[in-house]
Amino acid sequence: MKSNLALKQTYPIEHCDPIRKLILTYREVTIKDVSLLHSWMHEIHVIPYWKLDLPFEKYKKHVEAFLADDHQTLLIGEINGSPMSYWESYWVKDDVIGNYYEFDRFDQGLHLLIGPKEYLGKGYIYPLLLTILFHKFKVSETRKIIVEPDIRNEKMIHVFKKCGFTPIKEVELPDKTGLLMFCERGVFERRWTDWQQNKF
């Protein structure tokens, strides 16, 4: 899909989280990452929500198609130099979710997963998610960032709420029943400040 939105966010980005003392890096996916992503898509905690546990060649074609779609940017998130998360950052106006609410032209959205199971349940998701939201809100025209997690994914819904997202409504998407959630700029800025001051 071709996007006519001219704004382009630049990667890689690096952030030193003052609370967890971690170096967080986000870089763009390349075709060289297919094997890594393919292995993550076969993790037990990923399969139910992403449904991309495909044979390698079929998954490679999926990634190639997504890399060619300029309404979104595919990212690898790293902690202290170790790849451990996958992110799809997109413009709502050119995405299917734009059919489900009255969007603003500069609304952005996110999909994400943590790959290696050893990174689960340790709170890494909070600095990771807050940092990428901070970066996305650097687009001054963006007033809102949206997510639509699977309605069954209670853990991620809790994480999104804690980071400033508000549930709006359930949406019947082609691949899931999602919970549409909004994060408004002002709410996020308060949560970001709370995190930076260790009051989260």
Beta carbons within 8 Å of 118's beta carbon, 6+ residues apart: none
Mean pLDDT of the region 63-75: 96
Residue 179 has pLDDT above 80, yes or no: yes
Its pTM stands at: 0.95
Query: Residue 9's pLDDT band (boundaries 50, 70, 90)?
Result: confident
Q: How far apart are CA 66 and CA 134, in angstroms?
A: 24
- Closest to 130 (Cα-Cα) out of 197, 189, 199: 189
Tally Cβ neighbours within 10 Å of residue 23.
Answer: 12
Angle between helices 34-41 and 56-67 (to 10 degrees): 120
Residue 2 has pLDDT above 50, yes or no: no
Query: Residue 5's pLDDT band (boundaries 50, 70, 90)?
Result: low
Mean pLDDT of the region 65-83: 97
DSSP helix/strand/coil, 85: strand
Beta bridge partners of 88: 74, 111
Query: Residue 84's pLDDT band (boundaries 50, 70, 90)?
Result: very high
Classify 140 in phi/psi space as left (phi over 0), alpha (psi -120 to 50) or beta.
Answer: alpha
